[in-house]
Amino acid sequence: MNFTDFNFESSLQSSIESMGFVNATPIQEQAIPLILQGKDLIACAQTGTGKTAAFLLPILNRLTQEPSDHTDTLIVVPTRELAIQIDTALQGLTYFSGISSMAIYGGNDGTAFQNEKKAFVEGTNIIIATPGRLIAHLNMGYVKFPFLKHFILDEADRMLDMGFIDDLFKIIKFLPSKRQILMFSATMAPKIREFAKKMLTNPAEISLSISKPAAGISQSAYLVFNNQKNKLIKHILKQKTYHSVIVFASTKQMVKVLEQELQKDGLKVKSIHSDLEQNQREEVLRLFKNKQIQVLVATDILSRGIDIDDIGLVINYDIPNEPADYVHRVGRTARAESKGEAITFINETKQYLFANIESMIGYSVSKVELPESWGSRPLYQPEKPYTNLKDKKQRHQKRRN
């Protein structure tokens, strides 16, 4: 389906064309008409399929038809990186219109807070905010949303995982009773459906390829001992030239160690973790996007909220604890229908986590042999994947004993 088939306003269509968009993705094709009809919506599609444009375009089309001096749309997201990503997309899509937007998130100085306050008071058309920062402003008493028409929750599953459910219910109390609510998520866990029942009114529902990596991702895994991981990652990066690589590790300490190790090997490497200030994170992302660094090492703070289309390789140095996070990590590559590669390191103690991932995505990932000269490697003998939360707790207790 071509974007011209939606009959968007001419200024919005000009922006779409200037950004090189021609054909709508499946989530855009299904979601845009429903949003234009004013329906509440819960939409689930894998990472990298165009969810952001799916909810932004119909909102921008109505704002183009009915210009406003007030805050029309509130978008709540789990991380500052995602807030910045959406605001960046808005800057491109609103180039030929007078629609205003602002990203509001923590980690900034007092001047930024005052600028955010000004955006609320003066009625910026579209506000993109993280829950904590938004509530900080709401508690000050000057934030009012009497003209708000759209409330959007992006990466809703992630917000629930991060414990924002009480914050979300608090935020919604500040909104008009009559508004359109849109929930976008990459996974459709039962808690998402339960949450949606409490917030949405007779929502339409879209579910596309739930909990599965994109078809363009070539996935593989190595069985390794921890002391072989650094040697292996250097080996992989020397075997083939990748212009952009993201390496995910489980802790900021390991991220820092990996950054130093790979720099010693002559690679152009930077890291992103929670110890960096926001301006430092933005500078690292800028360098990565401009190909001034080849490898970006990060914690899961980056598994959502980075929108770069040509990442050739994702390496899971550590296996994520939650299967859904695996989908988000590997979804950083093969975006916009391109091809990409994802490699996971499986040590002897975390095999059950990878078995849970394979159970969720519905197939086994190819296991690659280490070079014979490297000596022994762990055998792949994962326990049966968890069947429920009780099963998970019992096994963890058994390991502790």
Look up the pTM and report it.
0.68
Do 279 and 384 belong together in one domain? yes
Q: How many residues does the chain have?
A: 401
Do 325 and 370 belong together in one domain? yes
Name the domain boundary from 178, 208, 238: 208
CA distance 120 to 353: 44
pLDDT the model gives residue 399? 47
Name the domain boundary from 156, 182, 208: 208
Note the pLDDT tens digit of each residue in 27-81.
999 999 999 999 999 998 766 678 899 999 999 999 999 999 999 999 999 988 8
Do 118 and 201 belong together in one domain? yes
- CA terminus-to-terminus distance, the chain: 57
Note the pLDDT tens digit of each residue in 170-206.
999 999 999 999 999 877 777 888 888 889 999 999 9
Do 268 and 135 belong together in one domain? no
Do 124 and 152 belong together in one domain? yes
Do 179 and 225 belong together in one domain? no
CA distance 154 to 184: 5
Note the pLDDT tens digit of each residue in 310-348.
789 999 999 988 787 888 889 888 766 678 999 999 999
Do 166 and 291 belong together in one domain? no
The answer to whether residue 136 scores a pLDDT higher than 60 is yes
Do 352 and 289 belong together in one domain? yes
- Per the structure, the count of domains in the chain is 2
Average model confidence (pLDDT) for the chain?
A: 88
Phi first, then psi: what are they for 342, rounded to 5°? Answer: -135, 125
- Whether residue 304 contacts residue 46, with contact meaning beta carbons closer than 8 Å, is answered with no
> What CATH number is given to the structural domain containing 223?
3.40.50.300
Determine the distance from the C-alpha atom of residue 120 to the mean position of all C-alpha atoms in its chain, rounded to a whole number. Answer: 25
Res. 246 pLDDT band, cuts 50 70 90? very high
Cα distances from 23 to residues 27, 49, 362, in angstroms, run 12, 12, 29
What residue numbers bound the domain in which 343 lies?
217-400
